[in-house]
Amino acid sequence: MSATPDPDTLHPIPGSPGVVFLRPLLARHPQVANVTAGAFSYYHDDDPEAALRFLELCVRYNYGEGRLSIGRWCAIAHRATFLMPGANHAMAGPSTYPFGILGGAFADALPLPDYPWRGGGDITIGHDVWLGTECLVLPGVTIGHGAVVGARAVVAKDVPPYAVVAGNPARVVRMRFDEATIARLLATGWWDWPAERVIRAIPALVKGDVAALEDVARAT
């Protein structure tokens, strides 16, 4: 039997340097403690060098405020972008301009800590989520397990598990499965299984046979 792929290999696909597993990539940047990714989640960039710059190119305005948590088995396409809370400006007064960032007398007039920043909250990406090319996920958004986000969608509110969303702002186009099937899929929690059990479940996972997936769960 072939060896199980190593989730801590940076480039998991031979000959495809634009694909990187995020967990080992993030391990190279321990100073960025507020961004995490689970095993087997990958990012693909058309430019192999840019793939290694995921934190710079895809996690924008990350000044340490809020968290970005990406689950296991996620597929993140070219230049999908996460807008961290540091992108938000104060909107309580007539102007949204952040005068204080320029320092000097501007900062003396109103120190940056005294600005009524909007905040925005953490970004949470569930397990087995597919984020399409150049989509944008805004602060405070949770994307449920098994969801699909269309290319260039702007996700401004939470996405239910196993929903397909598209557009600006992103709206639910359809649900991948009916409510009963979604409940059964969530109950399996297959993304928490060890890789060896997932391997046995791959035919059921790819062909969409929920009963067969449940059989794998019961057999192990």
Which residue is it, tokens 């693909």? 44
Separation CA 212–CA 207 (nearest Å)? 10
Which residue is it, tokens 């710079």? 56
Residue 20 sits at φ, ψ, to 5 deg, of -130, 140
User: Which residues lie across from 44 on neighbouring strands?
Assistant: 19
Q: 215 with 190: CB under 8 angstroms? A: no
Q: 98 with 72: CB under 8 angstroms? A: no
Which residue is catalytic, options 78, 89, 127, 145? 89
Q: Is 127 a catalytic residue?
A: no
Burial class (CB in 10 A: 0-12, 13-18, 19+), 163: buried
Which residue is it, tokens 């940047």? 29
> Hey, CA dihedral for 183, 184, 188, 192, is it positive or negative?
negative
Q: Which residues are catalytic?
A: 89
